[in-house]
A and B are shown apart, each in its own frame.
Chain A
Amino acid sequence: MLLHLLNRSPAGSRLPEDVLRAMGPDDRLLLIESGVYGAVSPQADCFKTLKGRCYALQDDLSARGLAERHADWIIPVDMAGFVALTAETQRTVSWY
C-alpha cells in the first residue's frame, strides 16, 4: 500500500487524472500545499472514488481559508497524521 502526495490544485492541470490512474485500490492520497484546493467541492468530485482514503493537510487548509470548507468525506490530518500515513504505508510517491 502506497501513500501518494499531491501538491497541485486540480484546476488547470491533468495531474489529478494521472495520480488517480497510478493509484492502487488500497493506496491513499494526501492533498498538501495547493493540492488542498482539491478538497473543496466541486473540485473534490474528481477524488470521490477515493472516499475513505483521501486526506488533506489541516495546516494547509487553514492557511488558505479552507478549514471548514472541505468536502465532508475528505479526512483532515495534522502533521502528526501526515507522518503516521507515511509510516503506515510502505512508500510515498510525490506528484507535482
Chain B
Amino acid sequence: MSDDTADRPLLVILRHAPHDGSWLREGLDVALVAAAFGRTVTLLFMGDGVEALRPGQTAGPLGQKGTHPTLDMLAMYDIEDLRVDAISLAERGLSTAELQWSATPVTAEQLPAVIASAAPVFNF
C-alpha cells in the first residue's frame, strides 16, 4: 500500500458535465461503491463537472437517466464531503448559493492540498 492510504479520504474528481457521455455517471459509481465499502469519500467538482450541481436538470430525450437522481442519493451512502472548484464555478457564471446540492467552494490556494491529501485519487 502506498504510504498511509488507509487513513486518507478517497477522492473522486468529476470534470465532465451531465449528459456528456457516461463519465459523470461512471465517476459517481466509483464514489458510491467506495462508500458502500466503508471508505470516506470526497467528491471534487471541477471544470465542466460543476454543471452536475446546477438545478433544473432532467432526463435526456431518449430516456437517458441523467445524474441528478444519483446526487440525491449521496447522503444515503454517507458521502457528505462535496467540494467545488471556485474558479470553475465562476467561469460558468455559477455561485454556490444557486447549486442544488450544497458543496464547499475550494479556492485556487486550497485546491492542491485537497488533491494531495487524498488517496486513492480517481479523475473522471
Contact of B2 (CB < 8 Å), options: A14, A15, A23, A90? A90
CB distance from A83 to the nearest CB of B (A): 15
Contact of A24 (CB < 8 Å), options: B85, B112, B123? B112
Q: What is the size, in residues, of chain A's interface with B at 8 Å between Cβ atoms?
A: 16
Q: Given that A91-B121, A95-B123 are contacting pairs, would A2 and B47 also be in contact in the complex, using a CB cutoff of 8 Å?
A: no
In the complex, A23 Cα to B112 Cα: how many Å?
5
In the complex, A95 Cα to B124 Cα: how many Å?
8
Q: Does B74 contact A (CB under 8 A)?
A: no
* Interface size, B (range): 20 to 34
Contact of A93 (CB < 8 Å), options: B2, B91, B113, B115? B115
Q: Does B99 contact A (CB under 8 A)?
A: no
CB distance from A4 to the nearest CB of B (A): 9
In the complex, A55 Cα to B12 Cα: how many Å?
25
A residues within 8 A CB of B15? 18
B residues within 8 A CB of A27? 112, 116
Q: Does B103 contact A (CB under 8 A)?
A: no
The interface of chain B, by Cβ under 8 A from chain A, is 2-3, 13, 15, 46-47, 85, 87-88, 91, 108, 111-113, 115-116, 119-121, 123
